[in-house]
Amino acid sequence: MWTKRILILLPIAVCGFLLQSYFWVPTYKEQARATPERLNQYITASIGDAEILNPILNSDTASSGICDQVFEGLIDRDRDLSWRARLAKRWEIFEWAYFVVNPADGRAPEQIAELIRSKKAKHNGEDTALAKCLRNITRVEIQPAETLVRGIEEDLPSEKSKSVGEAPDEEKEPERVEVRITVRRPPRIKLTLRDVDQDLFVTLRQVLREGYFSTFDGAEYVDVRPAAFASQKEKYARRFLPPTEHNPIILFHLRRGVKFHDGHEFDAGDVKFTYESIMNIDNLSPRVPDYEPVKFVEVVDKYTVRVVYKRLYSPGFSTWQMGILPEPLLNEEQLRKEAKEKRIEFDKFNMRKSSFNRHPLGCGPYRFDEWQSDEYIKLTRFNEYWEGATEYEKYIFRIIPDTVTQEMEFYAGAIDGYGAQPNQAERLKKDPRFQSFSGLGLGYVYIGYNMRNELFKDRRVRRALTMAINIDDIIEYVRYGQAERITGPFPKQTDFYDHGVEPIPFNPRGALKLLQQAGWKLNPNGVLEKGGKKFRFTLITNNGNRVRKDVSEVAQHFWKKLGIDVDIELIEWTVFLKHIDTGDFDACVLGWSMGLEPDLYQIWHSSQCHPHQLNFVAFKNQKADDLIIRIRREYDKQKQAELCHELHRIIAREQPYTFLFVGRWTALLDKRIVVARRDPSGHIVGYRKIRPTKLGSYTFNLDRWVKLPQMPEFLPE
């Protein structure tokens, strides 16, 4: 569990290798003298290899870390967490909003449009909610009536009666048929808004009249064929003829002259292609939920992209941090060519199977060089990077599964950074050889229960499993106090986390009582049984992560005292991910690295339980689903936080995870790694110390880092 203990338990041959490795690797100064190019290399380490080097397909931190260097997004956040222009040099966010002119009201479209314009003029200058709403409207237009035809595939409704001997419905594949929906849409009013206004139609009721929108009966204007689906008119009307419609819009103005690593120019077509690749169901992108609210992405011109949303979606802007793919290298023509070369039928080939994912090409600061599985990934400086070439010539990502070996290689100068283990944090913070950075993580560590497994379907069982573990002991003895308890799915530093939710207390007797209520009884051997079946399962985690291994052993210890038979499997990272992706596990110890937006759709919505999706524990709760959707559509941060607190309480009550802790992290670098400061002509004029961002990230401007033979004189801040 602790460093000394692990060293004692290691086989002699392995210990010998580690000690030999430690003394054999040259020191930092020796490396600098013997190989000057070492100063031009930034070498980092990970316990696990990358899985797939494609920003729209990966779901692990190792892969995304490499993709961050190879690819570039339209935007990202600056040191103070404000939005910063990247491939997009600027943007505009506004809204198109629509409502159907209600025939039952009796007023013509022209009268409704003129009424809104006159009210806008009348209330101009007032400081009321109505006046602010009307001032936000920049244009009022009338759209004429039109007929729309839509075709969708549906399951044919089953017959109520069956012939004698006929198989019941559940044993037959449902028959799929095309449903033709004809919509005779009345005239609509289109409003162009300066800013997105989620309360627009609530406020406009003061202008039109109460009930103007709610009394519109869309089903009257919908015809459905075949007749078997006629009873579903109201459902189709809600989908294809809603009385009101919000269409938030982002207009991105792109940088000119940005080059991909093969020299071709980045443009609006690459942005549109990246979106369409995410939404292509054949690619199985885990990013689909982030972009499903998009109605369409439109190329306005070579350097302008319009993103139109089909409904309110408050996290929408943040999703455009996604790395942009090069359309000419991954379009259908290229994939067909690659499939032919690999002798694979095209209908069985997709982007996920492309060689691109092991030889990526983007327009980020580093270009891909080499990948030796389970050894290293090498990147080389891209000299034509739009923001200027990086200071480091090489970025090398080494796979070192054992943290003890990582530590030794860091001391020897063979890697440039090291994430201190909890038992080392306080000591290494004070070590004068290093600069240190620390903070509370945005993510958390948890035990996830696969709710497809009958063992974990009862909420009382999941709660009992949490009650049986002394999590405070884990924080004290496994994390050496370098962590805090967490009770729910949001980052603890944000307003979305509900600090009013109390941690489930350590209570083995209470846990046993809950299990007994769920039908589990202790047999004469002290093992829990139900219906003659023992309570037994396997807990998996990835090999090389000492904390997760120790957490597994502590949980196993407490559960066995309760009468539960638990096996532990430590699995190599890429194999472990396959178990998670396919749902082939009982329970797992894992962690989430969270973002600042409160959108939990991918991890917790019931629609996201399929292979390669992130709700791999198969949590399903209708109230949670509804809240997740409401949070996505809420633009008022205070109201959004209230909804998040409600969702937090539901998930805490249901316990699909045992929420363990959010860790305090400490990262170390050699003091001679600094930030170069250059004048407009490109000459280095001095150096400054690395300064972390508002949330503690110290790698924010890694592209400006340099490694020096000795400590420099720093310019004043």
CATH number at residue 72: 3.40.190.10
Q: Are residues 614 and 551 in the same domain?
A: yes
Q: Are residues 516 and 386 in the same domain?
A: no
CATH number at residue 590: 3.10.105.10
- What pLDDT score was predicted for residue 35? 62
Q: Are residues 100 and 56 in the same domain?
A: no
For residue 28, name the pLDDT band (cuts at 50, 70, 90).
Answer: very low
Note whether residue 150 is domain-resident.
yes
CA distances from 51 to 84, 375, 498, 540 (A): 29, 13, 34, 18
Please choose, from the candidates 19, 111, 455, 92, the residue with its C-alpha nearest in 3D space to the C-alpha of residue 248: 92
Q: How far apart are CA 67 and CA 44, in angstroms?
A: 14
Residue 321 · residue 76 · CB < 8 Å: yes
**Exposed/middle/buried for residue 603 (C-beta within 10 Å: 0-12, 13-18, 19+):** buried
> What region does 81 belong to: left with phi over 0, alpha with psi -120 to 50, or beta?
left
H or E element, residue 327: helix 327-330
Task: Please check the confidence at residue 522 and state whether its pLDDT lies above 70.
Answer: yes
Of 192, 221, 248, the position where a domain reaches its end is 248
Task: Please check the confidence at residue 630 and state whether its pLDDT lies above 50.
Answer: yes
> pLDDT by residue (tens digit) across 156-201?
876 544 444 444 444 566 788 999 999 999 999 999 999 999 999 9
Q: Are residues 146 and 288 in the same domain?
A: no
- What pLDDT score was predicted for residue 165? 45
Q: CA angle, corner 293, sides to 276 and 272, nearest 5? A: 25
State mean pLDDT over 661-673: 92
Task: Please check the confidence at residue 567 and state whether its pLDDT lies above 50.
Answer: yes
Q: Are residues 57 and 114 in the same domain?
A: no
Q: Are residues 203 and 274 in the same domain?
A: no
Q: CA angle, corner 389, sides to 385 and 393, nearest 5? A: 120
- What pLDDT score was predicted for residue 5? 28
Q: Are residues 278 and 132 in the same domain?
A: no
Q: How far apart are CA 88 and CA 415, in angstroms?
A: 34
- What pLDDT score was predicted for residue 164? 43
Per the confidence metrics, is the pTM higher than 0.75? yes
Note whether residue 2 is domain-resident.
no
Task: Please check the confidence at residue 453 and state whether its pLDDT lies above 50.
Answer: yes
Note whether residue 70 is domain-resident.
yes
Q: What secondary structure letter does DSSP report for 223?
A: E
Q: Are residues 349 and 385 in the same domain?
A: yes
Counts of helices then strands in the chain (DSSP H, E)? 22, 29
Of 193, 213, 248, the position where a domain reaches its end is 248
Q: How far apart are CA 356 and CA 93, in angstroms?
A: 34
Least confident of 55-59, 162-166, 704-708: 162-166
State mean pLDDT over 622-637: 94
For residue 594, name the pLDDT band (cuts at 50, 70, 90).
Answer: confident
Task: Please check the confidence at residue 25 and state whether its pLDDT lies above 50.
Answer: no
Q: What is the phi/psi pair of residue 95, to 5°?
A: -145, 140
Task: Please check the confidence at residue 30 and state whether its pLDDT lies above 80.
Answer: no
Tokens of 114: 């003129």
Note whether residue 632 is domain-resident.
yes
Q: What is the mean pLDDT of the chain?
A: 90
- What pLDDT score was predicted for residue 29? 52
State mean pLDDT over 121-148: 95
Within 13 Å of residue 521, how many CA atoms lie on the same side as its CB?
6
- What pLDDT score was predicted for residue 11? 30
CA distances from 130 to 98, 200, 239, 313 (A): 18, 9, 29, 23
Domains held by the chain: number:
3
Least confident of 18-32, 132-146, 296-310: 18-32
Of 248, 283, 311, the position where a domain reaches its end is 248
- What pLDDT score was predicted for residue 18? 33
Q: Are residues 378 and 465 in the same domain?
A: no
Note whether residue 579 is domain-resident.
yes
Q: How far apart are CA 699 and CA 697, in angstroms?
A: 6
- What pLDDT score was predicted for residue 173? 66
Residue with the larger pLDDT of the pair 155 and 487: 487
Q: Are residues 543 and 488 in the same domain?
A: yes
Q: Are residues 602 and 553 in the same domain?
A: yes
What is the chain's length? 717
For residue 305, name the pLDDT band (cuts at 50, 70, 90).
Answer: very high
Percent above pLDDT 70 for the chain: 92
> pLDDT by residue (tens digit) across 674-691?
999 998 888 888 899 999
Tokens of 413: 């100068």
> pLDDT by residue (tens digit) across 206-257?
999 999 999 999 999 999 999 999 999 999 999 999 999 999 999 999 999 9
Q: How far apart are CA 464 and CA 508, in angstroms?
A: 8
Give the range of the structural domain holding residue 353, as residue numbers without chain letter: 48-85+263-295+325-396
Note whether residue 300 is domain-resident.
no
State mean pLDDT over 113-120: 96
For residue 335, name the pLDDT band (cuts at 50, 70, 90).
Answer: very high
Note whether residue 459 is domain-resident.
yes
For residue 14, name the pLDDT band (cuts at 50, 70, 90).
Answer: very low
Q: How far apart are CA 313 and CA 375, in angstroms?
A: 41
Please choose, from the candidates 95, 124, 148, 56, the residue with its C-alpha nearest in 3D space to the C-alpha of residue 311: 95
Task: Please check the confidence at residue 410 and state whether its pLDDT lies above 70.
Answer: yes
- What pLDDT score was predicted for residue 544? 81
For residue 517, name the pLDDT band (cuts at 50, 70, 90).
Answer: very high
Residue 273 · residue 251 · CB < 8 Å: no
Note whether residue 271 is domain-resident.
yes
Percent above pLDDT 90 for the chain: 77
- What pLDDT score was predicted for residue 15? 33
Q: Are residues 450 and 536 in the same domain?
A: yes
